[in-house]
Chain A
């Protein structure tokens, strides 16, 4: 075995030195049996590597259509956001699922009915710290249109995002889209 555990050769040089001077063998490399043997091996490796780089083994012909079906199915589910996850594999949640939880939280406030809920991933969002921006349309029963009602809706929706989903809600636009007769 010419190559020792730390790749130093008995002559004092190492494999990387031989590699760096692979093009033209110097006097030492030509005479040193260790260096010249390693040089020969490196030349074989280089030829095989070049062949591997030229190699055009193609993926199965149906791979593109498989990828695109997965993408289309994903697009139908709506946008997905990352969730905080401890494991190596990322967890995700669809924006539709988030919207359902937030609408439910708003519905819990007296005199309030959640309508449209648009959830977007915020620019500063990352896999370790997912952040969302939400526009929530609500219908309010006449007599409940006070600042206090909006505050309670805001509080509940923000709390639901954090506690029930695990994402931070950076911006919540409340839009009263209707006033209902009580």
Chain B
């Protein structure tokens, strides 16, 4: 099978092969989802170094627990759950935020409208900074829902709480973020 054909394989197939010890299949899963997991971790933990550690940890844990995954097609949801967990653990173990050097994250995306690039980018940077003012749980809920589009049900399970609590945290996060974004009106 060509590399292109292998890359087109669905998650369930790759998971089943990985469980049999097929490293090539697992590497394809890592390539498929590392970017998503990295961007989630980056927004939630706020530093590139910690985000890389989270990604490494998530894929190593997933590899070890492949035998416990009941539904092979549910791999990505399982990754999100594990990553959210690891991010919250990293934040709990951290010293107070003031002691931590947070990386400035330059945006890598090319801009479609160069004339507005500076202003738009400044707003996104402001949002990234504003996220740090939320509690870890609020931030995780908000990033999972608003940036990654995950379902309330899934977020509730990842955070270990109810859908209602997730909606409450999202509402508080949204109000707080809107307030910080007010100068850009």
Q: Residues of A with Cβ closer than 8 Å to B? A: 1-3, 7, 14-16, 19, 37-38, 40-42, 44-45, 47-49, 51-60, 63-64, 66-68, 70-72, 74-75, 79-80, 88-90, 92, 121, 125
A41 touches B178 (CB 8 A): yes
Q: Residues of B with Cβ closer than 8 Å to A? A: 21, 23, 26-27, 30-31, 34-35, 38-39, 42-43, 51-52, 55-56, 59-61, 63-64, 67-68, 89, 92-93, 105, 107-109, 120, 123-124, 126-128, 146-149, 171-172, 174-179, 181-182, 184-185
- Closest B residue to A62 using CB positions: B52
A57 touches B108 (CB 8 A): yes
> Which residues from chain A contact B39 at a C-beta distance below 8 Å?
55-57
- Determine which of B23, B108, B128, B181 lies in contact with A71 in the assembled complex, contact meaning CB atoms within 8 Å: B23
- Closest B residue to A80 using CB positions: B64
Question: How far apart are the CA atoms of A154 and B71 in the complex, in Å?
Answer: 35
A57 touches B175 (CB 8 A): no
Can you list 5 A-B contacts with CB-CB less than 8 angstroms, sorted by A residue number? A44-B181, A55-B124, A56-B108, A71-B26, A75-B21
B178 touches A74 (CB 8 A): no
In whole Å, how far is B131's beta carbon from the nearest beta carbon of chain A?
Answer: 9
Q: Known contacts A59-B34, A59-B35, A71-B26: does B56 contact A7 (CB below 8 Å)? A: no
A67 touches B178 (CB 8 A): no
In whole Å, how far is A68's beta carbon from the nearest beta carbon of chain B?
Answer: 5
> Which residues from chain B contact A70 at a C-beta distance below 8 Å?
56, 59-60
Question: How far apart are the CA atoms of A17 and B69 in the complex, in Å?
Answer: 40
> Which residues from chain B contact A15 at a C-beta distance below 8 Å?
171, 174-175, 178
Q: Known contacts A51-B120, A68-B27, A74-B63: does B42 contact A57 (CB below 8 Å)? A: yes
> Which residues from chain B contact A72 at a C-beta distance below 8 Å?
23
In whole Å, how far is A144's beta carbon from the nearest beta carbon of chain B?
Answer: 36
Question: How far apart are the CA atoms of A3 and B26 in the complex, in Å?
Answer: 48
Select the residue from B23, B176, B182 with max chain A CB neighbours within 10 A: B182
- Determine which of A19, A41, A48, A80 lies in contact with B179 in the assembled complex, contact meaning CB atoms within 8 Å: A41
A48 touches B52 (CB 8 A): no
> Which residues from chain B contact A89 at a C-beta distance below 8 Å?
89
- Determine which of B149, B172, B182 lies in contact with A2 in the assembled complex, contact meaning CB atoms within 8 Å: B182
